[in-house]
Structure 1
Amino acid sequence: MKNSLRELISLVGAGCMPDEDIDRIADEAAQAYADPAAFLAANPDINYDDGFPIPLGEWVVVGSLPDTVLFQAETYQQLFEVISGSFDQGVAFNLKPKQLARTEPLTALNRIQVQMAALNKEGGGYVLLNFSQLLDDPLQMVIVARNDLSRVLELAGEVGIVAEPALDALKAAQI
Structure 2
Amino acid sequence: MKATLVELIGKISSGCMTALDIERIADEAAAAYADPTGFLAANPDINYDDTFPIPLGEWIVVGSLPDTVLFQADTYADLFAQIVASFGPAVAFNLKAKQLAKTEALTALNRIQLQMSAMAKEDGGYVLMNFSQLLDDELQVVLVYGNDVPRVLELCSAAGIAAAPALEALKVAVHQ
- Scaled by the length of structure 2, what TM-score is found? 0.98
Counterpart in 1 of 2:84? 84
Contact residue 14 and residue 143 of structure 2 kept, 8 A: no
Report the number of matched residues.
175
Identity of aligned residues (%): 70
Counterpart in 2 of 1:129? 129
Structure 2 residue runs of 5 or longer lacking an equivalent are none
Q: Does 1:48 align with 2:48?
A: yes
Contact residue 68 and residue 83 of structure 2 kept, 8 A: yes
Counterpart in 2 of 1:166? 166
Quote the Cα distance in structure 2 between the aligned partners of 1:113 and 1:121: 13
Quote the Cα distance in structure 2 between the aligned partners of 1:42 and 1:107: 46
CA positional deviation for 1:89: 1.9
Q: Secondary structure at the match of 2:128?
A: strand
The one-letter code sitting in structure 1 at the alignment partner of 2:58 is E
- Scaled by the length of structure 1, what TM-score is found? 0.99
The one-letter code sitting in structure 2 at the alignment partner of 1:153 is L
Listed one character per residue, the Cα deviations across residues 47-82 of structure 1 (whole Å, up to 9, x for unaligned) are 000000000000000000000000000100000000
Counterpart in 2 of 1:71? 71
Counterpart in 1 of 2:33? 33
Q: Secondary structure at the match of 2:59?
A: helix
Structure 1 residue runs of 5 or longer lacking an equivalent are none
Quote the Cα distance in structure 2 between the aligned partners of 1:101 and 1:151: 33
Quote the Cα distance in structure 2 between the aligned partners of 1:41 and 1:49: 12
RMSD of aligned residue pairs (Cα, Å): 0.5
Q: Secondary structure at the match of 1:67?
A: coil
